[in-house]
């Protein structure tokens, strides 16, 4: 499997099959999978904690350390795929919709090269600037 050839559907089937073989579906409730995702994301952050960007880049040049990070990212992906599957969420469709919403909040001419939240450069009277939510 690789990113260029594998679909989200195939990945969902892979983790669903793994879970069913072990009779784990009984434990895969949305709350528990959400907690799993948050915990796994924390384990990803352990690879960056107390390190400069230069130190992180050097660590990624070490195949063993890069593989350790890859495994943590795979754990996050597993939890995300399982959560989406259990909640019957179409991840590709949700991402496409979310990007369209973010594009309205972050027009290229205003947001290009800037890291501020959209409220920093949009008018307060615009609907997207007053909802108080993060764009992504």
Cα separation of the two ends of the chain: 28
How high is the pLDDT of residue 129?
A: 44
Among 21-35, 91-105, 122-136, whose mean pLDDT is lowest? Answer: 122-136
For 124-133, write each residue's pLDDT tens digit: 445 444 455 5
Confidence class of residue 119 from pLDDT cuts 50, 70 and 90? Answer: confident
Q: Is the pLDDT score of 12 beyond 70?
A: yes
How high is the pLDDT of residue 125?
A: 43
More confident residue, 136 or 99: 99
More confident residue, 102 or 122: 102
How high is the pLDDT of residue 1?
A: 92
How high is the pLDDT of residue 44?
A: 98
Instruction: Determine the average pLDDT of the residues in 84-112.
Output: 95
Model pTM score: 0.83
Q: Using the 8-state DSSP alphabet, how is residue 17 labeled?
A: H
Q: Which domains, ranges and CATH numbers included, belong to the chain?
A: 1-89 (1.10.287.1080), 91-136 (no CATH)
List Cα–Cα distances, 126 to 31, 44, 49, 54, 100, in angstroms: 34, 37, 38, 40, 17
């Amino acid at each position: 499997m690789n990113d260029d050839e594998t679909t989200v559907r195939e990945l969902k089937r892979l983790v669903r099959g793994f879970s069913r073989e072990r009779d784990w579906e009984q434990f895969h409730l949305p709350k528990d999978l959400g907690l799993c995702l948050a915990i796994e994301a924390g384990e990803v952050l352990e690879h960056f904690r107390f390190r400069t960007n230069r130190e992180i880049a050097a660590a990624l040049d070490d195949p063993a350390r890069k593989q350790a990070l890859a495994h943590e990212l795979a754990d996050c992906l597993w939890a995300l795929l399982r959560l989406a599957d259990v909640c019957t969420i179409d991840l590709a469709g949700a991402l496409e919709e979310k990007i369209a919403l973010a594009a309205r909040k972050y027009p290229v001419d205003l947001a290009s090269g800037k890291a501020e939240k959209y409220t920093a450069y949009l008018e307060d009277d615009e609907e997207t600037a007053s909802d108080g939510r993060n764009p992504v």
